[in-house]
Structure 1
Amino acid sequence: MIDGKVATTLTGSSSMSVCFICGAKPTEMHNLDELAIRANSGEALKFGISPLHARIKFMECILHIAYNKSFAAWRTNKETTKIKEQAKATIQKRLKFVLGINVDVVKQGMGSSNNGNTARRFFENPQITADITGVNEQLIHRFKIILSTITCSQAIDAEKFQIYCIDTAKLYIDLYGWYYMPITVHKVLIHGSKIVSEAILPIGMLSEEAQEARNKDYRRYRLYHSRKTGRSSTNEDVMHHLLISSDPYINSFRTKLKLKKLDYHEDVKKLLINEIE
């Protein structure tokens, strides 16, 4: 899987806020009737959903709605900026106290505290999250089901998934039509079923978690196992170590990890082709 920045570049989209599949702008993403007949890029559908980043973006969408809910506007101005900052500080404090997670905290040289583990904890209990953020519990629950479905590594029933996503999109627009749907939320809710149909494997098997997990290996190989005589020689040594560590024959000698059986929500099971017992 690739992230949104790479997909935007490869498809030649004009902006990160424009859908690289259908070309919809933020102000057009709530017009479901027009989106239903809009032409889609078949090539762009093959870039997939990127489940890990999708979970983070869905969490950030809920957070931004919560921050702006008191004045119900997508953008802030001089008058509403202070209101947003106060709401943000209150929600951050409660999430830290109740769920033990830091959200929207900038880390020096490392982006922000919004990561996959934080997002999983955020959606773990929709009732608690809804109580803290003030966002509709049913919407958070439906987001959780959709995210769990696209990460479950099982074959998804594209027709059932489409119906569930469209109903979720309608609920979102009815409740928070003033906050334009972020590009990732739009991609999953509107184009998710088509992306699932285009994928040669269950979409959960194509997560970008594998490449994200190699970031720490890259840093270690670059620091301890590469020549520092030039950029080319450094990258060459790093690539050699990555190839060695990912070689199938060498991996066959490693101890196999016992994966625990995951317990999926009943609503997730209903969206799969072969329902899990």
Structure 2
Amino acid sequence: MRILEAPVVSPLSSEAEAAIDAIIAKKLKELEEENANKVEEAHEYKKNEQVSEAAVASVKYETKDIGEEAQAAFIKRAYDAVVSYNAKEAKAVADEAVAAGADLLSLIQKGYTEGINAVGAKYEAKEVFLPQMMASAKAMDVGMEVLSPYIGSSSDSEGLGKIVMCTIEGDIHSIGKDIAAILMKVAGFEVINLGKDVLVTDIVQAVIDNDAVAVGTSALMTSKMINQKTLEDALRSAGIREGLVTNVGGAPVTQGWADEIGADIYAETATEAANKMASAMVD
């Protein structure tokens, strides 16, 4: 089990995160139009379209000792690419880091993620505006596309089983959840990422279909938090709650809320979520 130390916290408002999600949604739509012959219903559950992180990481990756100076240079370039809205450079950094054997998790946390958080803080302070926010998100996205298949592929962690992750029904925010999904993979989980605005019934079905050992849901909107409780109730009704570890997170979520609805774990950051869930599997 790999312990993750650096916290990953997003300071973005709902509006800012929604803008970033729009970039990702557009890219997914383009891929769907290229590869699908029909448009699926908005909430239709398809097992073969779940994002299985284990399947994506088909290429083994070996982290090498490239030296602190070289690693720091990659991190700075990634950060600068995101804060300067340079998607071409963001991809180039990722490609070169993979070729060099750099520490990709550190690159994501200290480079790309800190970059998007810095732009988000400027957006909140009205120092930059929506076009810049979206351009920054695109830069981060293209870098992550390169790195994601390799994250966790060299992990020496014992397999912890499958975890189903999503943003809860009615909520369209996904950045924090997607970062958490990457870190869950690093910790040793096989991640089934269902995306955002996922029906409670679809989450339950995904747990059954994948024989999952854990479920993680995120809610950024206070009005949609209730669906985390609905999920807990639905898992019990389906007779699969016992033995399943559930995690809840998101800006308005608290330990008190987790206790109230019967969730096993509450985490304030993506790093904390990965560490707590991994620990729960080995206890």
Q: What TM-score comes out, normalization by structure 2 length?
A: 0.23
Q: What TM-score comes out, normalization by structure 1 length?
A: 0.23
